[in-house]
Amino acid sequence: TTARQKEMALEYCQIAEAKVHQAVKDKEDALIRAQSAESNQLERCFGVSSNSDVSSPSLSLEELDSIETKLRDALHTIAEAKEAQLRRRLEQQDSEKTCVVCMELPKTVLL
């Protein structure tokens, strides 16, 4: 019985090890797919892949200028969205601190 238990334990360990190896491979595959998707998105948005070297002579001055303009526009859009969210959050905080009756004065507690 002890030999059989050792055999079974060894089998369970081998199965567990195989599952771990498969999980690692699956995670590696998922990372590769995510990197590929990210690269494709970058290429679609800006015409440059994440693997390309923007300092390489293969890109013309006009192409680099175009990429820079697109990046600046995207950054500007992101900054505006961020500011709008901050403004909404501050307005919400202000409204939570305002008296529910007059909506002007700060909330007070009457005892």
Cα 39 to chain center, whole Å? 14
With H, G, I as helix, E, B as strand and everything else as coil, classify residue 102: coil
The token duo for 92 is 């919400």
What is the Cβ-side half-sphere exposure of residue 7, based on CA atoms within 13 angstroms?
A: 4
Rounded CA gap, 106 and 111, in Å? 16
Whether residue 104 is predicted with pLDDT greater than 70 in this model: the reply is: yes
Q: Which of 31, 20, 77, 7 is nearest to 69 (CA)?
A: 77
> What digits encode the pLDDT tens for the residues 24-82?
999 999 988 888 888 777 777 766 665 555 556 677 888 888 888 888 988 899 999 99
The token duo for 24 is 């690692």
Whether residue 111 is predicted with pLDDT greater than 60 in this model: the reply is: no
Across 85-95, average pLDDT: 86
Whether residue 2 is predicted with pLDDT greater than 80 in this model: the reply is: yes
Across 96-108, average pLDDT: 74
The pTM score is: 0.43
